[in-house]
């Protein structure tokens, strides 16, 4: 008689697959930072720092695109909880631990 694996047991079973794919990703990945696409000299500080606050009317995005951006930012803001769940169940030295660190850093750059 067999039993179904729990989600955590399944992830542990797949760790060697995760490791192979992390290594494949690292060979192809190019690290980037937001300032690679939005130069520092084009940025502005908030008014409290001597700059100008952003006003929603300045957006050139459609209402749908604005809603998508807000949804994306809410997802990015929850990254610490996603990271914590994985980090609580796997060593940070494991393939899953390394992957969650890279994934969190990548998603943070998106935010």
Tell me, yes or no, whether 17 lies in a domain: yes
Tell me, yes or no, whether 21 lies in a domain: yes
Q: What's the CA gap between 89 and 82, in Å, rounded?
A: 12
51-75 tens-digit pLDDT: 888 888 888 899 999 999 888 888 7
Report how far apart, in Å, the C-alpha atoms of 99 and of each of 7, 64, 102, 111 are. 17, 32, 5, 18
Tell me, yes or no, whether 24 lies in a domain: yes
Report how far apart, in Å, the C-alpha atoms of 42 and of each of 21, 50, 93 are. 37, 15, 39
Its domain, for residue 19, covers 7-29+61-110
Q: What's the CA gap between 24 and 111, in Å, rounded?
A: 25
33, pLDDT greater than 70: yes
Instruction: Report the number of distinct structural domains present in the chain.
Output: 1
Evaluate whether 111 touches 77 at the Cβ level (below 8 Å): yes
74-88 tens-digit pLDDT: 877 777 777 787 778
22, pLDDT greater than 70: yes
What's the pTM value of the predicted model, to 2 decimals?
Answer: 0.61
Residue 111 pLDDT level (bands cut at 50, 70, 90): low
Tell me, yes or no, whether 47 lies in a domain: no
Tell me, yes or no, whether 84 lies in a domain: yes
């Amino acid at each position: 008689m067999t039993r179904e694996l729990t989600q955590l047991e399944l992830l542990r079973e797949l760790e060697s697959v995760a490791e192979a794919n992390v290594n494949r990703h690292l060979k192809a990945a190019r690290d980037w930072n937001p300032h690679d696409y939005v130069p520092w000299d084009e940025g502005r500080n908030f008014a409290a720092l001597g700059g100008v606050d952003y006003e929603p009317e300045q957006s050139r995005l459609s209402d749908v695109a604005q809603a998508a951006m807000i949804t994306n930012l809410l997802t990015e803001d929850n990254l610490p909880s996603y990271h914590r769940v994985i980090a609580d169940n796997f060593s940070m030295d494991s393939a899953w631990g390394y992957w969650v660190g890279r994934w969190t850093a990548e998603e943070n750059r998106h935010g």
